[in-house]
Amino acid sequence: MKRLVFSVIVLLVVSCKKQQTDIPRKPADSKTAKIDWEKFERDVFQSIDSVEKASEQTRRQHLLKLMEYSDNVDGSVSEAYGMFAFEYMEKYPKLFFEVLTSTDTAVVRKWAKASSGEVLILAENDHQKDSILKLVQNHHFAQRKTFNAVETELDKLYLEKLDAAIHR
């Protein structure tokens, strides 16, 4: 009997260790291995606050700083980041695009990718994804009346990349 109990315990320990090693983890390269995740989280939320409070003169700088975090956000920080990106774009598309230049396509792509996470959380199926995307597109088309040519092109890119990220 003792031998059977011991065997079961050994099997449990081995299977638990196997499960732990099967959990995907962020790569421990030199870039992510040195991140203090608590500080990183604080920095992301401070950066979000900075974008919200930024003047037209400092908004670009704060947007670019926030985008630097995009490759490393995960978990609850990722959800907050994506929600902010989506909501900010829907509330203030003009404020977002007016501080960018035609060469800021990488910023727009990253913002669309971050925003897509919120759409995927909100939508329960493909029909809802399409409905949300259609609402976003209609809102942006209406806002374009106030956009200049560069802002319009960046907005088109944003909507294209948002659609692609949602439907990948």
In a domain, 1, yes or no: no
Could you tell me the residue range of the domain that residue 70 belongs to?
Answer: 38-166
Q: How many domains does the chain have?
A: 1
- Return d(Cα 136, Cα 66) in angstroms, integer: 22
Question: Predicted confidence band at 152 (pLDDT cuts at 50, 70, 90)?
Answer: very high
Confirm whether 97 is domain-assigned.
yes
3 assigned to some structural domain = no
Task: Answer whether residue 88 is part of any domain.
Answer: yes
Residue 107 has pLDDT above 70, yes or no: yes
User: Is 124 within the bounds of a domain?
Assistant: yes
Q: According to the model, what pLDDT value does residue 40 have? A: 86
User: Residues 51, 92: contact at Cβ < 8 Å?
Assistant: no
- Residue 145's region, left for phi above 0, alpha for psi from -120 to 50, else beta, is alpha
E-only strand ranges, the chain? none
32 occurs within a structural domain? no
Task: Measure the N-to-C terminal CA separation of the chain; round to a whole number of Å.
Answer: 54
Domain assignment present for residue 13? The answer is no
Q: How far apart are CA 33 and CA 27, in angstroms?
A: 8
Model pLDDT for residues 64-96, shown as the tens digit of each residue: 999 888 888 887 788 888 999 999 999 999 999
The predicted pLDDT at position 21 comes to 35
With respect to residue 75, please indicate whether it lies within any of the assigned structural domains: yes
Read off the pTM.
Answer: 0.76
Q: What distances in angstroms separate CA 154 from CA 21, 35, 51, one per listed residue?
A: 43, 32, 19
Q: What is the pLDDT of residues 5-40, one digit of tens each?
A: 334 343 334 444 433 333 334 444 445 556 788 888
